[in-house]
Amino acid sequence: MLELRSYVGARWVAGTGAPQTLLNPTTEEPLAHASSEGIDLKAALEHARATGGPALRAMSFAERGAALKAIADAMQSEREALLELSIANGGNTRSDAKFDVDGAIATLLAYSEIASTLGNSRFLVDGEGIQLGRSARFHGQHIAVPRHGVAVHINAFNFPAWGFAEKAAVALLAGMPVLSKPATSSAMVACRIVELVAGGKLLPEGALSLLVGSARELVSHLGPQDVLAFTGSGETGAQLRASAAVINLSVRINIEADSLNAAVLGPDVEPRSDMYELFLKDVVRDMTQKAGQKCTAIRRVLVPQQYHSSVREDLVELLGAIRVGDPKNEDVRMGPLASRAQLEDVRRGVGRLEGKHVFGSPAPLGAKGFFISPILVEDPASAVHEHEVFGPVAALLRYKDDPAEIVARGAGGLVSSVYSDDQEFIDRMVTGLAPFHGRLYLGHPKIELSPGPGTVLPQLVHGGPGRAGGGEELGGPRGLAFYMQRVALEGSRPVIQKLLGK
Ligand code: NAP
């Protein structure tokens, strides 16, 4: 059995103690073991701070960007092997696996391109200089410099490649060393990526560490220059937010958690129109891609009263055409859930939604593997605005007057989408929904090859207020701010301008 090892202190280290077994969620066949017991987590962080940090800070943005490109290229050359691992360890169809792996490569490349616009500098100039007094000599300028700690990244199980890359690309470009901890159940893909980086010496020593297995007391070793970026459940996020290091030492923390994303069909959209078909396509894609285990997936489908039965019938028909099964088969559109725990969690969650099951049921499918059918629930209980069911499950809700008010009951989300051609309705929805979201997707059939609301693009921010964790990642160069200290320089204008190389 393959033993996954952690990469800490520039060495591959196996944990001791009883390991966790990683399974193939399609067959339940054991694939690997992982444990972090016995690993000196404090020493791992100190090594990253002492070696990786200074080495990265000695590099310019352009040099760090070149390293990101080298990682993307290495992943590209191992793409087939990464896709196979993702299918085996994640229960992904090939298309789902590509979504994760290709998304990771694209994000690394996007940040390497941003690096080329930042050039040979080692810090960022933030905004224009400001004359501070009557004399033009008294000058102010904000700059941002890399923090001197470690960026600890704790990731969720659903995107082992993209989750690694979307955090690591930004931190490394900002000049901070990374310690990445993938979710244990699906850690094989992230492990292979770190093997590629370490084996190819694509980063300076200490710039990238990997912890497989439980995080144990990792967070308690963080200090005031470190940052913690977490993606996962709201419950774990709340525990991390309450940790002593975060409270007492102001360890900077970013949380990406649960989200009850909504799709709103405008009252102007007639059934069978192109806009209507786009809406249906986006809902079905989000329910079934990665078996609905996407933080951005549509969970609440809001339709005007008059089109409710039409949308229900069309969704039932489209969901009926989704073949669920072994994701290695090309005609299968939806694979299993990622783990038994995930399957049980989804079944419990469907129970909490109550309502009528107009498509599918929470009964497990098949004798082996963690399979469930897509489930569409109609007229659910109020739990639909409180509880995220992290699987192929969505609820159909009808609205009469103000759908934005209904969406806002979700208390903060990553993304919601609006499908309408009526500018007045779009204006009203944007005003009503924007304060509760990190991103709004305005669907339009004329946008060619639109990936739908569920795809996170590196150019745009990812995160959301309230239930979604209150975090913000990516967003092009905006994302760097989390890993940098903004400092106001105040002094003589010529001195400051010399510092800035002007
Ligand atoms: P989870 O159980 O909270 O686990 C997330 C990560 O936290 C895993 O790496 C886990 O490690 C680690 N962890 C668990 N307890 C910890 C602790 N006490 N201290 C430090 N680390 C700890 O969540 P999940 O089941 O993997 O992911 C599903 C959830 O993630 C869903 O609710 C979904 O909404 C959310 N999600 C959000 C986003 C987003 O961008 N907002 C993206 C994807 C997923 P182990 O695996 O070793 O337990």
Q: CB under 8 Å to 242, separation ≥6 — which residues?
A: none
* Residue nearest atom 36 of ligand 1, based on CA coordinates: 232
Instruction: Calculate how far, in angstroms, residue 157's C-alpha sits from the geometric centre of ligand 1.
Output: 7
157 within ligand 1 shell (Cβ under 6 A): yes
Give dist(CA 223, CA 249) in Å, integer: 6
**In this prediction, what percent of the chain has a pLDDT beyond 70?**
100
Q: What is the mean pLDDT of residues 20-48?
A: 97
Nearest CA-CA partner of 290 in 319, 324, 316: 324
Residue 364 has pLDDT above 90, yes or no: no
- Which pair of structure tokens corresponds to residue 85? 């691992």
First to last CA, the chain: 59
pLDDT bracket for residue 372 (50, 70, 90): very high
The verdict on whether 256 is a catalytic residue reads yes
- Which residue lies with its CA nearest to atom 39 of ligand 1? 256
What pLDDT was estimated at residue 350? Answer: 97
Tell me: pLDDT of 279 over 80: yes
- Take atom 34 of ligand 1 and give the residue whose Cα is closest: 258
Q: Residue 320 Cα, ligand 1 centroid: separation in angstroms?
A: 31
- Helices 79-90/160-174 angle, 10° precision: 130
Across the chain, mean pLDDT equals 96
Q: Does the annotation mark 191 as catalytic?
A: no
> Mutation test of ligand 1: which of 295, 388, 414, 415 has the most ligand atoms closer than 8 Å to its C-beta?
295
Q: Which of 63, 205, 235, 256 is catalytic?
A: 256
- For the chain, give percent helix, strand, coil, nearest 5: 40, 25, 35
Question: Cα 160 to the chain's mean position, in Å?
Answer: 10
Report the pLDDT value the prediction gives residue 121, as an integer from 0 to 100: 84
Q: Phi and psi at residue 379, in whole multiples of 5°?
A: 50, 60
Rounded-to-integer distance, Cα 469 and Cα 466, Å: 6
In this prediction, residue 99 has a pLDDT band, given cuts at 50, 70 and 90, of very high
- For ligand 1, whether the C-beta of 184 sits within 6 Å is yes
The conformation of residue 157, written as its DSSP 8-state character, comes to S
Ligand 1 neighbour 216 (Cβ under 6 A): no
Does residue 501 have a pLDDT over 90? no
Instruction: Name the nearest CA neighbour of 50 among 265, 209, 192, 264.
Output: 209
Q: Is 454 exposed, middle or buried (0-12, 13-18, 19+ CB in 10 A)?
A: buried
Catalytic annotation, pick one of 166, 295, 472, 473? 295
pLDDT score for 449: 86
Residue 258 near ligand 1, beta carbon < 6 Å: yes
256 touches ligand 1 (CB under 6 Å): yes
Q: Name the nearest CA neighbour of 464 among 426, 431, 435, 437.
A: 437
What mean pLDDT is predicted for residues 392-414?
97
pLDDT grade for 154, boundaries at 50, 70 and 90: very high
For 439-495, the pLDDT digits (tens) are: 999 999 999 888 999 999 999 999 999 999 999 999 999 999 999 999 999 999 999
**Centroid of ligand 1 to alpha carbon of 392 (angstroms):** 18
Q: Is the CB of 215 under 6 A from ligand 1?
A: yes
Predicted confidence at residue 120, as pLDDT, reads 86
Token pair of 375, please? 């489930």
Closest CA to 415 of 303, 258, 306, 272: 258
Could you give the CA distance from residue 476 to residue 101 in angstroms, rounded to a whole number? 19
Mean pLDDT of all residues in 225-244: 97
Average pLDDT over residues 150-158: 98
Buried b (16+ CB within 10 A) or exposed e, 219-247: bebbeebbbbbbbbbbebbeebbebebbe
Is the Cβ atom of 62 under 6 angstroms away from ligand 1? no
- The ligand 1 atom at the shortest distance from the C-alpha of residue 469 is 41
Pairing of strands 413-419, 208-210: unpaired
Q: Judge whether 461 and 473 are in contact, CB under 8 Å.
A: yes
Q: Does any ligand 1 atom lie closer than 6 A to the CB of residue 245?
A: no
> From atom 43 of ligand 1, which residue's Cα is the shortest distance away?
295
Mean pLDDT over residues 380-393, rounded?
A: 97
| pLDDT of residue 17 exceeding 90 | no
The structure's pTM equals: 0.96
Q: Is residue 65 scored above 80 in pLDDT?
A: yes
Mutate to test the pocket of ligand 1, among 179, 220, 221, 233 (most ligand atoms within 8 A of CB): 233
DSSP secondary structure string for all residues of 118-149: HTT-SSEEEEEEEE-SSSTTEEEEEEEEE-SS
Whether residue 233 has its Cβ less than 6 Å from ligand 1: yes
pLDDT > 80? residue 61: yes
Q: Is the pLDDT of residue 502 over 80?
A: no
- C-beta 347 within 6 A of ligand 1: no
Q: Which residue, by CA, sits nearest to atom 38 of ligand 1?
A: 295
* Cβ 35 under 6 angstroms from ligand 1: no
> Residue 209 — φ and ψ, nearest 5°?
-120, 160
Mutate to test the pocket of ligand 1, among 154, 239, 261, 348 (most ligand atoms within 8 A of CB): 154
Q: Is the CB of 370 under 6 A from ligand 1?
A: no
Of all residues in the chain, what percent carry a pLDDT higher than 90? 96
Give the C-alpha separation, 15 to 25, whole Å: 24
Distance of CA 98 to the CA centre of its chain: 15
Distance from the alpha carbon of residue 252 to the mean position of ligand 1, in angstroms: 18
Residue 205 CB contacts under 8 Å (≥ 6 apart), including other chains: 10, 51, 52, 55
Nearest to 22 by CA among 13, 36, 14, 34: 34
Instruction: Write phi, then psi, for 365 (nearest 5 degrees).
Output: -100, 135
Q: Across-strand partners of 209?
A: 179
CB 128 within 8 A of CB 142: no
